[in-house]
Structure 1
């Protein structure tokens, strides 16, 4: 297998575009070659099978979705209290929604993972690590809310992003912002049972 990291990344980025546009059934090595604008057969030099391509595309989506450590540190250093947390959540939702093809490709990959154990393993590890990192950063920051609140927000916002990308007319921008605001306020408020 070829080892040019830049070419491999470009092919995986092309795979993400194909997944988002054509679904998992449309993802072939030839389709990736065409999307990347490289000679036919190039992808097969980097990926020994479609399964390998799917698995590596799943990892690549997360490489592109998760901000760099410097960005995370900057965001966390300016987030304080409920307002800071709310600003952080709006930015996160905007960033993830802004990578539309990546998120749609990830949805295709999640469906495909129900049939492919190796892909399921990669996605499970990445999603769990992402969630654990979010919880740890949140708890270290002193922002309001606990680990359960962070997990609930991540799950709720994942579906809100799905609605925004697939059926954008369900909510107006104002309604979406109200939902984000209320989710943060309600899930981070101290409640007495």
Structure 2
């Protein structure tokens, strides 16, 4: 397999675009080559097979969704209270919503994982690790709320993002912002400053 990392990243980004636009069934080496505007056969030189391409595209989505060091540092600024959690949830929804193709491609990968045990075997520990990392970060940061509250926020924010990206007319932007605030309000009591799990 080829090792040009910049070319590999460009091919994976093209695969993500194809997944978001065409779905998993439309993800072919030919479609990726066309999206990346490279000669035919290029993607097949970088990925062993379609499963390899799907798996690596999933890893690339997570790589691009992860907040950078500056964003993480900002998340620890200011008081560690419910208002801060609300602000972080707004930032999360905004950050993920700006990478629409990546999130839609991730949804496609999750659907495809229901039909491909190999993909499910790769995605399950990756998503579980992401949830665990979010819970651990939240608890170590001293923000209010326990592990269950963080997991419930994870579920609530994910579905809110799905609504926003797939059926944007269901809720207005004002309603979406209000729903984020209500979710935090209900899951993180004002008096809870324990950070206990």
The two structures have a TM-score, normalised by structure 1, of 0.95
Where does residue 143 of structure 1 map in the other structure? 143
Where does residue 119 of structure 2 map in the other structure? 119
RMSD: 1.3
Stretch moving more, 113-122 or 151-160: 113-122
Deviation at 1:78, TM superposition (A): 3.7
| 8 Å CA contact 1:58, 1:109 repeated in 2 | yes
Where does residue 155 of structure 1 map in the other structure? 155
SS of match in other structure, 2:77: helix
Where does residue 134 of structure 2 map in the other structure? 134
Once residues 124 and 78 of structure 1 are traced to their aligned partners in structure 2, the CA distance between those partners, rounded to angstroms, is: 34
SS of match in other structure, 2:187: helix
Once residues 121 and 8 of structure 2 are traced to their aligned partners in structure 1, the CA distance between those partners, rounded to angstroms, is: 21
Where does residue 18 of structure 1 map in the other structure? 18
Once residues 141 and 104 of structure 1 are traced to their aligned partners in structure 2, the CA distance between those partners, rounded to angstroms, is: 30
Question: Is 1:164 the counterpart of 2:170 in the alignment?
Answer: no
Deviation at 1:144, TM superposition (A): 1.3
The two structures have a TM-score, normalised by structure 2, of 0.93
Once residues 109 and 79 of structure 1 are traced to their aligned partners in structure 2, the CA distance between those partners, rounded to angstroms, is: 37
Deviation at 1:79, TM superposition (A): 5.5
| 8 Å CA contact 1:16, 1:61 repeated in 2 | yes
Once residues 49 and 143 of structure 1 are traced to their aligned partners in structure 2, the CA distance between those partners, rounded to angstroms, is: 43
Once residues 116 and 5 of structure 1 are traced to their aligned partners in structure 2, the CA distance between those partners, rounded to angstroms, is: 27
Stretch moving more, 144-153 or 70-79: 70-79
Once residues 76 and 141 of structure 1 are traced to their aligned partners in structure 2, the CA distance between those partners, rounded to angstroms, is: 7
1:50-69 aligned within 5 A: 50-69=50-69
SS of match in other structure, 1:145: coil
Once residues 65 and 46 of structure 1 are traced to their aligned partners in structure 2, the CA distance between those partners, rounded to angstroms, is: 23
Once residues 79 and 112 of structure 1 are traced to their aligned partners in structure 2, the CA distance between those partners, rounded to angstroms, is: 42
Question: Is 1:90 the counterpart of 2:94 in the alignment?
Answer: no
**CA displacement, residues 171-192 of structure 1 (integer Å, 9 cap, x when unaligned):** 111111111001001101168x
**CA displacement, residues 125-184 of structure 1 (integer Å, 9 cap, x when unaligned):** 221111111111111111111100000000011000000001001111111111100100
Higher helix share: 1
Deviation at 1:91, TM superposition (A): 0.3
Deviation at 1:69, TM superposition (A): 3.3
Question: Matched residue pairs, number?
Answer: 191
**CA displacement, residues 77-105 of structure 1 (integer Å, 9 cap, x when unaligned):** 34621111111110001000110000000
Once residues 58 and 77 of structure 2 are traced to their aligned partners in structure 1, the CA distance between those partners, rounded to angstroms, is: 30
